[in-house]
Amino acid sequence: MENWQVAPDTAFDAFVALGKYLEDDGWFPQRMGDDLIYRVGFAGQNAQVTCFAQIRPEIEVFLFHIVLPVKVPEKARMAVAEFITRANYGLLIGNFEMDFTDGEVRYKSSLDFEGSTLDHPLMRGVIYTAVQTMDRYIMGIMSVIYGGVSPKEAVDEVEKELHSSG
């Protein structure tokens, strides 16, 4: 039995709507096995990343994760953790997170749609906020990992550019 068959109707309806939205918006979604997850790619100004759009049926939540294309080497994880903490402090929607075990960094945006319809404007807000934020901060993360830039300097540089551009 596929996982979606035990999901509440609203969650499966949301998954179908999410797939249609992703297709219509040019994301070319690929379903991940029997789970309510689509994998999509995104090419921003600063990097190409893999994204995962997921419906969690048991709690009626839409999650959107963007995975950094490299794993953080163990020696750089504390510095990247500081970068993430500094970056997260000012973010209004979503957050960065890192798995200290393997160095995976991702950005997560989510929405609780319990009792509601997950419509296209809500999906768009979750998705585009996430990809724009990752694309904005990715060079700062990379400069901490590979360029020896301090986490504070890297976040300050990203946010300086953010404030000067609008």
What is the model's pLDDT at position 115?
85
What is the model's pLDDT at position 161?
73
Q: Angle between the 77-89 and 151-164 helix axes, to the nearest 10 degrees?
A: 30
51 vs 39: CA distance, rounded Å: 6
Confidence check: pLDDT of 164 > 80:
no
**Mean pLDDT, residues 111-120 taken together:** 90
Confidence check: pLDDT of 4 > 70:
no
**Mean pLDDT, residues 150-157 taken together:** 98
Could you tell me the residue range of the domain that residue 48 belongs to?
3-164
| Torsion sign (Cα): 123, 23, 55, 113 | positive
DSSP count for the chain of H helices, then E strands: 4, 6
40 - beta bridge partners?
A: 51
What is the model's pLDDT at position 5?
43
* pLDDT more than 90, % of the chain: 81
What is the model's pLDDT at position 166?
53
What is the model's pLDDT at position 8?
52
* pLDDT more than 70, % of the chain: 92
Tell how far CA 51 is from the center of its chain: 6
Categorize the per-residue pLDDT at 3 as very low, low, confident or very high, splitting at 50, 70 and 90.
Answer: very low
The total number of structural domains in the chain stands at 1
pLDDT in tens, 61-110: 999 999 999 999 999 999 999 999 999 998 999 999 999 999 999 999 99
Query: Which CATH number is 141's domain given?
Result: 3.30.1460.10
Confidence check: pLDDT of 6 > 90:
no
What is the model's pLDDT at position 116?
86
Taking Cα atoms as reference points, which of 132, 150, 130 lies closest to residue 141? 150
Q: Distance of CA 26 to CAs 23, 31, 41, 142, Å? A: 5, 15, 10, 28
